[in-house]
Chain A
């Protein structure tokens, strides 16, 4: 049972480059979300989805895009990377919004 799988685990980008962080879950969860974790600031919600075709913004959505074409996948796109987006990114899923969220192992992203 893989749970929530994130790829890549590490990535270094140059300012202005774009990339997609992948997130996949095999638990048939409807609810998925993306967080970023910065030192001393806990986890902050970037975007979330309550099902295929439905996404919405979280607390810090600027500079990021998401889409949800299938139940399993929820990719996060950085349009034009900036040093301020250096962070650890976590994807999470739950069966319903009111059930505990299961986190992936994270992607450590550095923007130079």
Chain B
């Protein structure tokens, strides 16, 4: 089955700097890659997603890149703010899996003023 590895497990950045989280996946048939943000005690919330027919997607300060050949995808947060502090999860699924998401273990991001 699919295996998703996520790095780093913790990330501390100064406010205004950029943060990058990387995930690798094992199943070459995976074609949908969402990213979720989870604040302490809250539900996971989708922040951005990408499908395998595109290499990059941006939404204001957030961007995701996908390298299908290398089977890895990354989340980039620019101009980080204290409210970006949270746990971020990557996930992957394949078209024939009826949406069964395989999640990474998560990255705790701490933005210090």
Contacts and interface: CB of A to CB of B under 8 A. Distances in A.
Given A42-B103, A42-B104, A100 B46 contact: yes
B30 to A, nearest CB: 12
Interface stretch (B67-75, B78-86, B92-100): B92-100
Given A42-B104, A100-B34, A100-B49, A94 B44 contact: no
Contact of A101 (B101, B102, B106): B101
A43 B89 contact: yes
A44 B103 contact: yes
A94 B49 CA distance: 14
Contact of A98 (B89, B95, B105): B95
A42 B89 contact: yes
B61 interface: no
Nearest to B90: A42
A31 B99 CA distance: 8
A45 B91 CA distance: 12
Contacts, number: 60
A58 B97 CA distance: 10
Interface residues of B, number: 24
Contacts of B102: 45, 59
A63 interface: no
A90 interface: yes
A48 B98 contact: yes
A68 B97 CA distance: 19
Contact of A33 (B1, B99, B104): B99
Contact of B100 (A58, A90, A103, A105): A58
Interface of B: 1, 6, 9, 32, 34, 42-46, 49, 89, 93, 95, 97-106
Given A42-B103, A103-B45, 19 more contacts: A33-B100, A33-B101, A40-B9, A40-B106, A41-B105, A42-B105, A42-B106, A43-B89, A43-B101, A43-B103, A48-B100, A50-B98, A56-B98, A59-B1, A59-B102, A94-B99, A100-B34, A101-B34, A103-B44
